[in-house]
Each structure stands twice: as C-alpha cells, then as structure tokens.
C-alpha cells in the first residue's frame, strides 16, 4: 500500500471517528442544558417554600436549613455540570442525602420543640422531592462526565473537525524528507566539510626568481 493510499484510508477512518465523537459531544451539550433546569429549578422553588413555612409558623429553622444546604448543593451542581468534576456531582448526592436523614431524624422530636407545627416533617417531604430530582440529575451528570472524559482524550477534541487531521498529516509529512533530497543535502554537507579541511595557510610559500626579461623592462 502506497503512502497516498494509506493516508486516504486513515483520513476516511478519522472522518468517521470525528463524526461519531462530534455527535456524542453535541448530545452531551444538550443533556447539560437539561441538567441546568433539573438542578436549579427545584432549588429555586425550595428556598422560598422553606422561608414561607418558617414565616407562617414563626420558626426560622426551615429557612436556615435552606440557606445552608441549597448554596452548597448549587455550587457542587454547577462545578459538576459545567466543569465536569465527578466529585462535585457525587457531592450533590451526599449533601442532599445527609440533609434528608437529618430532617427525618429530627421530625419525631419537633412536637416537643415547636408546638406541633410539624415543620421538619413538612420540610422532609418537600426535601424528598428535591432529593429525587436533583439526585437523578447528579447521576445523569456523572454518566455524561464519563463520556466527556473519554472524548477529552480523543484526537480533534473538542470540535472534532477533519481539518485537525489534515493539519496533523501535513505536520507529519513535512517531517519526512524526500530520499533524493536527503541524499543531495548529505552530499552538499560532505563537500562543504571537504572544502573546510583544505587549509591554504599550511602550504609553503615559494619565491620564484625574477626573469631577465622583466629586469630589462624595468631598466627601460
């Protein structure tokens, strides 16, 4: 197989690979746009709901819980979704799960503390919805992050354009010298080295006697 045929075959394979990776990248970007709403719409709804419940019951615990948990979850969700940080997406699940357990654990004791308003129980029910929606988003986030990291290690990332392969091939071809040109360059270098070895300063200087004819011409 000639170099031209091999290059054409490699370009065809790379074109197919780029098309496949470009499709996956577009799919990841679309899913990431959906994740934004799955993450942040429930959080935005949960904060005023918690404050409203605290306002009507004159208990600020629900609002305080929302002020601590939601910003932390929002930051982790943003980093997990838009910076492709797997640990941050996993941390969304951990924070929401721990907070859900905390609300459920405190729920049986709230009657003696807050005069039977069932504030923790109500918050736990609303928070369960938040956990299901944001937890699902975090699992999807982890899945697309795995795909993104695979694409990140592929040629042509992130645009996967065939021009990238053409530039790579041009670079490789420019590094390969034509055998005849290489032979000419070596011959030129060898000739130039031989000329450098010739040192005229080392040759003995001979003084030739003047001829009589030249003396006669000088006397005229």
Residue 10, CB half-sphere, CA atoms under 13 Å: how many?
Answer: 12
Does residue 158 have a cis peptide bond before it, meaning omega lies within 30 degrees of 0? Answer: yes
Q: What is the mean pLDDT of residues 23-52?
A: 92
Checking if the pLDDT of 172 tops 80, the result is no
Summarize the confidence of residues 168-172 as an average pLDDT.
59
Give the Å distances, CA to CA, from 134 to 18, 97, 120: 33, 11, 20
Q: What is the mean pLDDT of residues 81-92?
A: 94
User: Which residue has better confidence, 9 or 169?
Assistant: 9
Asked if the model's pLDDT at residue 94 lies above 80, the reply is yes
Q: How far is CA 61 from CA 52, 53, 73, in A?
A: 11, 10, 18
Q: What is the CA radius of gyration of the chain?
A: 40
Task: Output the pLDDT for position 159.
Answer: 81
| pLDDT at residue 215, as a whole number | 53
Average pLDDT over residues 116-143: 85
Give 220's pLDDT tier (boundaries 50, 70, 90).
very low
Q: Burial, 47: exposed, middle or buried (Cβ in 10 Å; 0-12, 13-18, 19+)?
A: middle
> What mean pLDDT do residues 123-146 have?
92
Q: Please state, in angstroms and rounded to a whole number, the distance separating the CA atoms of residues 73 and 91.
A: 8
Do the Cβ atoms of 51 and 63 come closer than 8 Å?
yes
Q: Given a cut of 60, is residue 219 above it in pLDDT?
A: no
With beta carbons less than 8 A apart as the criterion, state whether 166 and 124 touch. no
- 3-state per-residue secondary structure call for the chain: CCHHHHHHHHHHHHHHHHHHHHHHHHHHHHHHHHHHHHHHHHHHHHHHHHHHHHHHHCCCHHHHHHHHHHHHHHHHHHHHHHCCCHHHHHHHHHHHHHHHHHHHHHHHHHHHHHCCCCHHHHHHHHHHHHHHHHHHHHHHHHHHHHHHHHHHCCCCCCCCCHHHHHHHHHHHHHHCCCHHHHHHHHHHHHHHHHHHHCCHHHCCCCCCCCCHHHHHHHHC
pTM, 2 dp = 0.67
Backbone angles phi, psi at 32, to 5 degrees: -65, -35
Higher pLDDT, 63 or 38: 38
Spans of all domains in the chain: 3-160
What is the structure's pLDDT at 65? 83
């Amino acid at each position: 197989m000639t170099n031209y045929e091999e290059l054409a075959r490699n370009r065809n394979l790379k074109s197919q690979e780029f098309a496949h990776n470009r499709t996956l990248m577009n799919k990841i970007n679309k899913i990431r746009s959906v994740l934004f709403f799955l993450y942040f719409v429930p959080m935005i709804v949960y904060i005023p709901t918690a404050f409203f419940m605290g306002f009507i019951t004159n208990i600020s615990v629900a609002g305080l819980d929302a002020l601590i948990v939601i910003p932390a979850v929002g930051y982790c969700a943003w980093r997990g979704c838009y910076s492709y940080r797997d640990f941050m997406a996993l941390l969304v699940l951990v924070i929401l799960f721990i907070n859900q357990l905390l609300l459920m654990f405190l729920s049986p004791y709230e009657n003696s503390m807050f005069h039977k308003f069932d504030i923790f129980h109500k918050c736990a029910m609303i928070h369960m919805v938040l956990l299901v929606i944001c937890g699902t988003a975090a699992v999807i986030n982890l899945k697309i992050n795995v795909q993104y990291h695979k694409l990140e290690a592929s040629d042509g990332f992130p645009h996967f354009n065939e021009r990238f392969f053409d530039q790579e091939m041009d670079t490789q071809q420019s590094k390969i010298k034509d055998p005849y040109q290489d032979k000419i360059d070596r011959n030129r270098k060898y000739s130039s080295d031989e000329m450098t070895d010739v040192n005229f300063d080392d040759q003995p200087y001979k003084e030739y006697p003047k001829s009589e004819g030249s003396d006669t011409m000088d006397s005229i």
